[in-house]
Amino acid sequence: MSTSRGLGHQPRISVAAEYTLEPDGSISQVRFLEPRAPVLFEEAVRNAVLQWRSEPPLIRGKATRICLHQRLDFEAR
């Protein structure tokens, strides 16, 4: 997690997550990378990421499980 408060900027929190894209396109095993974000943000990210669906990569024509990383930014308005 990183926070930023520059002149004229609203507070921002970044949450780095790692998750598994399953062969059926669903998401599982959401984990958070260091440093830890406040629980409220981790819960929001976990709930959002678990709703995502995606086309998994194909290896030799077969859908394959992969691990992905994503940074999500929250900005106060």
The 10s digit of each residue's pLDDT in 36-63 is 778 888 998 999 999 999 999 999 999 9
Amino acid at the residue 58: L
Q: What is the pLDDT of residue 77?
A: 74
Q: What is the pLDDT of residue 75?
A: 83
Q: Are strands 27-32 and 12-21 parallel, antiparallel or unpaired?
A: antiparallel
44-49 CB contacts, 8 Å cutoff, 24+ apart? 44/74, 45/15, 45/17, 45/72, 46/17, 48/72, 49/17, 49/19
Instruction: Please give the residue that has the higher pLDDT: either 4 or 70.
Output: 70
